[in-house]
Structure 1
Amino acid sequence: MNATLATWVKPTDKSLGEWLDSRIARFSTRRYDFDALKFQADYDPKYRRAQMRYMGTGATGVQSDSNTVPAEHFTFSTMVLPAQCEGPLHVHDDVEEVFFMLRGSITLFVEHDGETFETQLNERDLISIPPGIYRGLLNHGEEDALMCVMLGTGKPTTPTYPDSHPLSKIKRA
């Protein structure tokens, strides 16, 4: 086997099945976590949204979640963005972020070096945003939007907001 592909090591105290079972995150054992970004919704209800974690904890500030597959090279979660709610403009300086729409549509807005870009993402659309670029999203619809969110590192740093945004002044609990 090619040595560059064989980077994983099965624990010696587990069978292959036991080890692989520990790497499965089943939908039936997930729950939506509206508290992950609660400090934003407490500031203004328009920022209310929920994360359902599958691999790692993402960049929401959740320190640990024993009900996820441990993250090695990326994190993966789903996010519910309720109707008329938004994910505020923020930046990940350390990592690429990918949004993949499962249901509904959102308006995604991006700012970088004085330029702005806005697009609508619909079901099964994907966008990859490189590190260092501000991004935000808005569910302009009447129903919840559901998307997959993937961050390209096992433990991303918590994002920051533009200095002019009111959330940049809020301290997380």
Structure 2
Amino acid sequence: MMSREFETWKRPEGKTLEEWITGSRVARLEDRKYDFDALKFQADYDPKYRRAQMRYMGTGATGISADTNTVPAENFTFSTMVLPAQCEGPLHLHDDVEEVFFLLRGSIKLFLEDNGEKAELILKERDLISIPPGIYRGLYNYTQEDALMCVMLGTSKPQIPTYPDDHPLSKVKRN
């Protein structure tokens, strides 16, 4: 008997392999659009937090509860994110999951914090970083061009991230 978590991997009765794979396991760029509303509550607080998610597998940790235009997530979520010039992803924490950033285009400054120790590094095109659970991370596009990155979270349904207590977004409520 197949465990419930892997049921979406099983081909449905009466479907050819091609129908099953192309109908539920392929996410094409032509069918995606950037979702600037996924993190709109942050940009509403301050436009410097404006960024967009384009979901491919699962819904990530942005608080989107469902997106029927994605491949079902079993073990991780995968999206692309555009970080406009001079915008930032605020310092936040995923205490339940590893997060991976792979920079496709542009350059960003990444901030890390763990138990009071801070680090910052520059990621450039085709650089990757894997951030373990429990470490604060934030990003800033210090350039004049949009940065485009892949974002992968190591679970099918990540918890919504939290912000440091002294960060203004820790007090902002999602719409």
| One-letter amino acid matched to 2:174 | R
Matching of residue 75 in structure 1 with residue 77 in structure 2:
yes
| One-letter amino acid matched to 1:170 | V
Count of aligned pairs: 167
CA-CA distance at 1:9 after TM superposition: 2.1
- Which structure dedicates a bigger proportion of its chain to helix? 2
Q: Distance in 2 between matches of 1:67 and 1:10?
A: 19
Partner of 1:11: 12
TM-score under structure 1 normalisation?
A: 0.95
Q: Deviations over 1:71-108 (max 9, x none)?
A: 01000000000000000000001000000000000000
Q: Which runs of 4+ in 1 moved over 4 A?
A: none
Q: Deviations over 1:89-131 (max 9, x none)?
A: 0000100000000000000000001100100000000000000
Partner of 2:44, secondary structure, is helix
Partner of 2:156: 154
Q: Distance in 2 between matches of 1:64 and 1:145?
A: 26
Mark the runs of 5 or more structure 2 residues left unpaired by the alignment: 1-5
Partner of 2:158, secondary structure, is coil
Q: Distance in 1 between matches of 2:174 and 2:60?
A: 16
Mark the runs of 5 or more structure 1 residues left unpaired by the alignment: 1-6
TM-score under structure 2 normalisation?
A: 0.94
Partner of 1:144: 146
Q: Work out the percentage of aligned pairs sharing the same amino acid.
A: 76
Q: Distance in 2 between matches of 1:130 and 1:90?
A: 13
| One-letter amino acid matched to 2:112 | V
Alignment of 1:45-124 (within 5 A): 45-124=47-126
Alignment of 1:7-46 (within 5 A): 8-21=9-22, 22-46=24-48
Partner of 2:35, secondary structure, is coil
**CA-based RMSD:** 0.8
CA-CA distance at 1:18 after TM superposition: 1.0
Partner of 1:3: none
| One-letter amino acid matched to 2:117 | E
